[in-house]
Structure 1
């Protein structure tokens, strides 16, 4: 059985992956992690033969020993019971998160992606840039700072052509709906506001001239790339977009593959820029990034690729 880790509000992509797994002859179990503390029962026992882990949802019971592979799509914040005294919420979340990771740590099977590698890479964009640079990809000048003087010096070094963005996303949907802070061009009149960095460290990057913006779904050596004509704004999620299929040069694909393998990732949603002069610039990789819009609007078989790559790793193990 293949465990599919997601959350209760996930739609479309999770269904497509599970459908393809079923076609390949692999049963799967959808694990909505936000409901772990409200809709699941868990049990851990140390028996004479070793540890035993069990997870139950309704009438369905799965044992850790039955799981042959894991598709790690997303880990979500725990729901709390509506009648739980607020005093006990911190303990509830702490203990359930501990129990959850005890269960996940027991799964010594193929993962896409391994959860701790996924978190380590996804939470460190400067690390990503270092891996990309080491693989031969072009990357923008970048700093993360909470200090206005640093930011102003960087702004001047880039001749005032700088964008600012948060390190983490506020929105987790494939259309960018909901609260988010878009990548924003820093204007001269905005620099006085950099004193507020002490309240929220931010990423500052040199602004890269754009011909096209690229979102690449990388699946263990396979590439599914969507492109957008560069919008007037600096973040495509603030514009009406029309995705187009795009073919990356073989040399760029090879460098990306080397980067992903160096990081230990089998999947990632990669953002790059194609400049007017034909150069490709790497921005970031999100190991849990959205790709449903590429499947939906460009008819890319990304879900099938994820299922097939994981099934292959399971059978070859």
Structure 2
């Protein structure tokens, strides 16, 4: 049964991009109410309280603009949880900082996990998707091709994998990773493994990485699935030298180059089966189409960005997000 309205909690941060505002606007235009919780204001400018008394649960979020009840929510959109505890370093001694931030995270995520309403997605689902290995196994079981893969911290095993893998090998981290030098963020992208890297191979022992067969690319695809609806776009990442291994290196330059793409029915069915397995109502899927016409699955991200694609389809993704959160579009049953 579709709901005409609802009360949606949006978990994000104060520096989030315009896509979040678009979804909130469509929720409100459809008659829903939104409580936005920018978690970088927690706890310096926000308080979260749970009370259980006489068989009743009460949840309260206190913000500068007012106090909100959270025990009557109809849905949660867990968008981002960046910078929890921001500003604590100015009021707490360093020895207590880690413990405080740990308790803040446990309190917030514990509250969210216990909420009985629809969630897109539950925090535990995000943590399950941290396993890239399980993703690859699940995708293969759903009928998708995956590249030859080696996840290891053994230099010897990597050398053997490279010798047995035709066409070269790329290396990447399994999590979002950045190095900070002199206060500046340097994102670690996917890179081809070269002879120069082999000279530093012994360092692999201290930090495992994922290595995969380097696939020749006709196109790279970004498939955004919201509820049961698929939004498929493709880019020729080989246009620019810097984007050939990882299109994100030239993400801004290529933002207007993405084009709608019609997926084969069999690939759509496999992707829907993948989403069913995880009980996902949102997923940003990365695929590669080879010159031979074969599709390879790379990963699914339950918090993947969609703002640049949303602009290219007149905010159809944002409207679908709002409809799923309000129960006005078909939802996938969670796991």
- TM-score norm. by structure 2 comes to 0.87
Q: Identify which of 101, 106, 125 aligns with 1:93.
A: 101
CA RMSD of aligned residues (A): 2.1
Q: Identify which of 245, 253, 276 aligns with 2:268.
A: 253
Task: State how far apart, in whole Å, the 2-side matches of 1:226 and 1:301 are.
Answer: 13
Task: State how far apart, in whole Å, the 1-side matches of 2:229 and 2:151 are.
Answer: 32
CA-to-aligned-CA distance 1:63-102 (integer Å, 9 cap, x gap): 2212110111112231133232222212211221222123
Partner of 2:136: 129
Partner of 1:66: 72
User: Any stretches of 5+ residues in structure 1 without a counterpart?
Assistant: 172-176
Matches within 5 A, 1:223-302: 223-231=230-238, 232=241, 233-239=244-250, 240-241=253-254, 242-302=257-317
Q: Identify which of 155, 159, 164 aligns with 2:162.
A: 155
1:25 aligns with 2:36: no
CA-to-aligned-CA distance 1:25-52 (integer Å, 9 cap, x gap): 1101111122221111122323113332
Q: Identify which of 303, 312, 317 aligns with 2:327.
A: 312
Task: State how far apart, in whole Å, the 1-side matches of 2:315 and 2:64 are.
Answer: 35
Matches within 5 A, 1:67-82: 67-78=73-84, 79-81=86-88, 82=90
Conserved 8 A contact 1:64-1:106:
no
Pair 178,278 (structure 1): closer, same or farther in 2 beyond 3 Å: farther
Shift of residue 298, structure 1, vs aligned partner: 4.4
1:106 aligns with 2:114: yes
Conserved 8 A contact 1:64-1:103:
no
Q: Bigger shift: 190-199 or 274-283?
A: 190-199
Shift of residue 180, structure 1, vs aligned partner: 1.2
Conserved 8 A contact 1:3-1:70:
yes
Partner of 2:223: 216
User: Any stretches of 5+ residues in structure 2 without a counterpart?
Assistant: 1-6, 179-183
Shift of residue 62, structure 1, vs aligned partner: 1.7
1:201 aligns with 2:208: yes
Aligned residues: 311
